[in-house]
Amino acid sequence: MPYDNPVRGPGKEKKMSITIKGTGSALPEKTVTNEELSKIVDTGDEWIRERTGIGERRIATGQTVAMLASDAAQKALADAGVDPEKVDLILVATCSGEQALPCVACQVQGLIGAENAVAFDINAACSGFLFALSTAEIYLAQGIYNNALIIGAEVLSNIIDWSDRSTCVLFGDGAGAAYVEKDTRKKALFQFVQGSNGAKGEVLSCGQRDSANCFYRGEEISKYVVMDGREVFRFATRQVPDTIARLLEKAALTCEDVDLFLLHQANLRIIEGIARRLKADIQKFPVNIRHVGNTSSASVPLLLDEVRAAGKLKEGMKVVLAGFGAGLTYSAILLEI
Ligand code: UT7
């Protein structure tokens, strides 16, 4: 099994430590359709829809990662009815922050006035929101913090080569956030399985700055996303169902017991392939890729917010969140609403 890492996560006896109290999202106003892209690169609506399921995406025209993240965060706090100064922990999952320093989470802290929080970023690419959620859960379970604001935010349009048709049609910009608190119920579930395969990192990469100082100058690197799409496709359609299967096994559940699967929105064919491999009902896999494209770290929280806003999340429901991305990283989380 080429991608079979040791996977870690709590054991069967683990009870839930978090409950989602509020969600929010932020999308740039500008919509870019497939037709518009066909004027920039050699592509077409038919190819993009058939191969990916994407119809359009939002592209930032001035908004930074921190601005989108703050907007989504404020909506999540408003949804929960919580003041920013009550937030203990802010985690931002991102791989496209415009500034190396300060991190996006600290920028968000300043922008929303969460003066009492501890804030830092997590970069696990498209799995980032899930890694951030499991990290927050551990802090809350340990009693270190009582609540957390978890945000996935990206302006991928800044790191895309707009002359590369194999990548530029896939991605979009946006942010999603969830405000979570320590759960007082004792019986609800929280389980996760996650892993990384750094040896396969070259299949999806993006350089940031050249290796250069006043004593040394290395080779110039690409500042844009470079991807072996087929390899990532293969990885996702094998690794994600295997990871979900392990997660359910640990929780002594089957796909039948799960009410919703909220998957990273990278490609409709990947989502359908995962559902097929799991022999799970495709109706349980809501999608928003048609109108937002692949928003990396933002994709799962954007979908979570859409599903919650539509009233589809009911107390007691069992939900699986799952994703994969550059690293290569992968993660699946089971939680009870
Ligand atoms: O969040 C994780 C990030 N990435 C992913 O999840 C990506 C996973 N991979 C994929 O979703 C798919 O592999 C892609 C959508 C990227 C590509 O779809 P594919 O069915 O694997 O296409 P392909 O790479 O095998 O290319 C088939 C053809 C090629 O032409 P030839 O060599 O057959 O003549 C490509 O040059 O499609 C061509 N092609 C395009 N044609 C029109 C590639 N991109 C485009 C395009 N428009 N945008």
For ligand 1, mutation pick of 43, 233, 329 (most atoms within 8 Å of CB): 233
**106, 126, 202 from 150: Cα distances, Å:** 13, 14, 28
11 has a pLDDT exceeding 90 = no
Question: Which pLDDT score, from 0 to 100, does residue 134 have?
Answer: 95
Question: Which pLDDT score, from 0 to 100, does residue 135 have?
Answer: 96
Question: Which pLDDT score, from 0 to 100, does residue 183 have?
Answer: 82
Q: Whose CA is nearest to atom 48 of ligand 1?
A: 165
Q: How far is the CA of 269 from the centre of ligand 1 (A)?
A: 12
Q: Whose CA is nearest to atom 21 of ligand 1?
A: 230
Between residues 284 and 2, the one the model is more confident about: 284
- Asked about 206 being catalytic, the answer comes back as no
Q: How far is the CA of 239 from the centre of ligand 1 (A)?
A: 20
Query: For 265-290, what is the mean pLDDT?
Result: 98
For ligand 1, mutation pick of 48, 129, 165, 166 (most atoms within 8 Å of CB): 166
Query: For 184-190, what is the mean pLDDT?
Result: 72
* % of the chain with per-residue pLDDT over 70: 94
* pTM for the whole structure: 0.94
Q: Picking from 6-15, 64-73, 255-264, 284-293, which range would have the lowest pLDDT averaged per residue? A: 6-15
Q: Picking from 10-14, 99-103, 216-220, 230-234, which range would have the lowest pLDDT averaged per residue? A: 10-14
Question: Which pLDDT score, from 0 to 100, does residue 299 have?
Answer: 98
Chain centroid to CA 173: 12
Question: Catalytic: which of 103, 264, 267, 288?
Answer: 264
Closest CA to 288 of 37, 72, 27: 27
Q: How far is the CA of 229 from the centre of ligand 1 (A)?
A: 6
What are the tens digits of pLDDT across the range 62-81?
Answer: 999 999 999 999 999 999 99
9 has a pLDDT exceeding 90 = no
Sorted by sequence, the CB contacts under 8 Å of residue 151 that are 6+ apart come out as: 69, 72, 73, 76, 90, 91, 92, 93, 105, 108, 129, 132, 175, 176, 177, 178, 301
- Asked about 213 being catalytic, the answer comes back as no
Question: Which pLDDT score, from 0 to 100, does residue 4 have?
Answer: 37
Question: Catalytic: which of 34, 147, 288, 294?
Answer: 294
- Asked about 95 being catalytic, the answer comes back as no
Which of ligand 1's atoms lies nearest the C-alpha of 323?
Answer: 1
Q: How far is the CA of 55 from the centre of ligand 1 (A)?
A: 15
* % of the chain with per-residue pLDDT over 90: 89
Question: Catalytic: which of 95, 103, 106, 126?
Answer: 126
Q: How far is the CA of 161 from the centre of ligand 1 (A)?
A: 15
Question: Which pLDDT score, from 0 to 100, does residue 17 have?
Answer: 77
What are the tens digits of pLDDT across the range 301-326?
Answer: 999 999 999 999 998 899 999 999 99
What are the tens digits of pLDDT across the range 34-59?
Answer: 999 999 999 999 999 999 999 999 99
329 has a pLDDT exceeding 60 = yes
Closest CA to 304 of 66, 76, 37: 76
Question: Which pLDDT score, from 0 to 100, does residue 204 have?
Answer: 96
* 8 Å CB contact between 96 and 156: yes
Query: For 242-261, what is the mean pLDDT?
Result: 96
Question: Which pLDDT score, from 0 to 100, does residue 184 have?
Answer: 74
Lining residues, ligand 1, CB within 6 Å? 43, 47-48, 51-52, 126, 165-166, 169, 204, 227, 229-230, 232-233, 236, 266-267, 294, 296, 325
Q: Whose CA is nearest to atom 18 of ligand 1?
A: 51
What are the tens digits of pLDDT across the range 106-136?
Answer: 999 999 999 999 999 999 999 999 999 999 9
- Kindly report the average pLDDT of the chain as a whole number: 94
Q: How far is the CA of 266 from the centre of ligand 1 (A)?
A: 12
Q: How far is the CA of 163 from the centre of ligand 1 (A)?
A: 14
Which of ligand 1's atoms lies nearest the C-alpha of 43?
Answer: 47
Question: Which pLDDT score, from 0 to 100, does residue 187 have?
Answer: 64
Question: Which pLDDT score, from 0 to 100, does residue 189 have?
Answer: 79
Quickly state the pLDDT bin for 6 (edges 50, 70, 90): very low
Quickly state the pLDDT bin for 5 (edges 50, 70, 90): very low
For ligand 1, mutation pick of 37, 51, 126, 233 (most atoms within 8 Å of CB): 51
What are the tens digits of pLDDT across the range 261-275?
Answer: 999 999 999 999 999
Query: For 272-280, what is the mean pLDDT?
Result: 98
